Homo-oligomer: A and B are copies of this chain.
Amino acid sequence: MSPLLLKQLWHTPLANASDQEIVYRDQLRLSYRQVYARISQFGAALAASGFRRGEVIAVMDHDSHRYLECYFAIPMYGAVMMTVNTKLTPAQIAYTLNHSGASMVLLHADFIPVIENIRTELSNIQKFIVMADGAPLPSTSLQFADEYESWLADRIDNDFGFADFDENTRATVFYTTGTTGAPKGVYYTHRQLMLHTLAAGMALTAPAARQRFHCEDVYMPLTPMFHVHAWGIPYIATLLGVKQVYPGRYAPDMLLKLIRDEHVTFSHGVPTLLRMILTAAQSSSVDLRGWKVVVGGSALPQALAKQALEMGVDCFSGYGLSETAPILTLAQLNECSSAQDQLADDALATLCCAGRAIPLVDLRIVDDTMRPQLHDGHSSGEIVVRAPWLTQGYLDHAEASAALWQGGYLHTQDIGAIDRNGYLRITDRLKDVIKVAGEWVSSLELENALTLVTGIKEVAVIGVPDKRWGERPLALLVVDKALFSESAAHDQMRSSIECGSISKHALLTQFKQVDTIAKTSVGKIDKKALRAEHAATP
């Protein structure tokens, strides 16, 4: 049996598009042939350094051609690429490096200070290779085994001859942080990454005209490459043999310059980055028409999508988790629509929902006995999935792994509804949903309804225990007392119930005026804190 291995992604681009470019900022242009030669040198360098199959090698870099080389060379050698989340605290970085068992770190000079501070805590790291971008290194107490370019240049092997091995060999590991507990390691095998590449690749290429990625696009990620393999898209882009542009450290001017000068047509990122680029483009009069962006990480606001579409940007939403490789769904429209049609309310809502399952994904919404709910657009349940590329569990964490896969499906802990055309709308997080008389009531949808009420400045809805109903909603309100009336709030609830946007159980909502609503460090409503404070006082 012929194993599925990441090296196979190179067969066709090397044969069919070997002169195609891979660009790093405004600094460097390499051909696919050259990048593959560097990957070969990387393999030879690992062999020369005595690395064994299964060893873990960590990477800390901005989005670069070097990171792309790591995406391939480390797993193709049979080692495991650990992508370090450089946004974590130094203590978390130390924890994840130690927990992964990484023995080497490939380190961009920008991250020297972070590592210097935690050097003594790193129990297993034997070697650091520094990546310098041509600039002189800062003075540091760290000892470097080599500098990346000279480490590669010492090898003249342009075709290292990466061996075949079992497709279930681990290829990557990275850490995901929940609201509680230590970061958890998520890992993927060659087989899983290959199947995600093919299925997500087919989903992205298949539409007739819009919301798609194709062979003549120019690709630039706007997602950090440490974040779930930049959604797996660098693997797809390489397989398609398209021109790739890596922007290094994100700076609006550089991103805009690259989009304009390199004719970037396909990207993906969080809503914040899209907003930043739209704003920068407007103030510097850069034409973004023809640029396509998949938005994920958090919900794509309709106002932002509308602004993007009006500027000629073909934006659409996607959904997935660190544990799902990550792509599960994409919000592609059914029919070739003109830009005008896409600004219609229903099309806009569709482009901003989570989207439809991609090939091979068995996506269900289930109640707490795992019974599937109707795909009627209203019935909601926890989103659970099966697909041949989902992570098998968390690294050295049997309990969390078992919970993840309870009942044979991976539990997303998101609540959603699916319509008859397969479009998934996320309505809440499982932990924030309110269970009234056995039915799941979305706290987010109640909040959305209440923000429409005059005089309500801020609102958070949580579930509180109730003898009769199990739970009932409690709305915490920051109000302008001169304008707010509770009866207006009740009126709004009733009209939202009538139009079907919220459950009739919303009528059980109690109101409580508060001075402030607790937030997390990133500015989200801290429902855990709110429940602790208010759940006992209905």
Contact = CB atoms under 8 A, between A and B. Distances in A.
Interface of A: 1-4, 8-9, 11-12, 15-18, 168, 191, 195, 198-199, 201-202, 205-208, 214-217, 239-240, 335-336, 356-363, 375, 386-390, 392, 418, 420-422
B202 A2 contact: no
A388 B4 contact: yes
Contacts of A357: 11-12, 15-16
Contacts of A208: 214-217
B207 A358 contact: no
Contacts of A1: 168, 191, 392
A277 B392 CA distance: 51
A233 to B, nearest CB: 14
A359 B215 contact: no
B11 A362 contact: yes
A430 B202 CA distance: 35
- As for how many copies of this chain the complex holds, the number is 2
A336 B214 CA distance: 11
B2 A386 contact: yes
A312 B160 CA distance: 47
A207 B389 CA distance: 25
Contacts of A17: 421-422
Contact of A388 (B3, B201, B387): B3
Given A8-B362, A198-B198, A422 B2 contact: no
Given A215-B208, A388-B4, A12 B201 contact: no
A352 to B, nearest CB: 18
A15 B201 contact: no
Contacts of A418: 15
A498 to B, nearest CB: 29
Contacts of A359: 9, 11-12, 198, 201, 239
A386 B40 CA distance: 20
Given A11-B360, A168-B1, A386-B2, A16 B421 contact: yes
Contact of A356 (B15, B336, B387): B15
B360 A12 contact: yes
A336 to B, nearest CB: 7
A239 B360 CA distance: 8
A185 to B, nearest CB: 19
Contacts of A389: 2
Contacts of A9: 359-360
A12 B358 contact: yes
A355 to B, nearest CB: 10
A12 B9 CA distance: 25
Given A11-B363, A12-B361, A207-B216, 14 more contacts: A1-B191, A2-B390, A4-B388, A11-B359, A11-B360, A12-B357, A15-B422, A16-B357, A17-B421, A195-B198, A201-B202, A206-B214, A208-B214, A216-B335
8 smallest CB-CB distances across A and B, nearest first, come from A16-B422, A198-B198, A15-B422, A205-B205, A208-B216, A2-B388, A205-B206, A208-B214
A206 B236 CA distance: 11
Nearest to A421: B16
Given A2-B387, A215-B208, A388-B3, A356 B12 contact: yes
A198 B202 contact: yes
Contacts of A387: 2
Contact of A207 (B214, B386, B420): B214
Most buried by B among A3, A11, A335, A386: A11
A130 B12 CA distance: 45
A420 B214 CA distance: 21
A390 to B, nearest CB: 7
Contacts of A8: 360, 362, 388
A362 B9 CA distance: 10
A15 B239 CA distance: 28
Contacts of A18: 420
Nearest to A358: B12
Among A17, A205, A422, chain B packs the most CB atoms within 10 A around the CB of A205
Contacts of A356: 12, 15-16
16 contacts: A1-B168, A1-B191, A11-B361, A11-B362, A12-B357, A12-B358, A12-B360, A15-B356, A16-B356, A16-B421, A17-B422, A201-B359, A205-B205, A207-B214, A208-B215, A239-B359
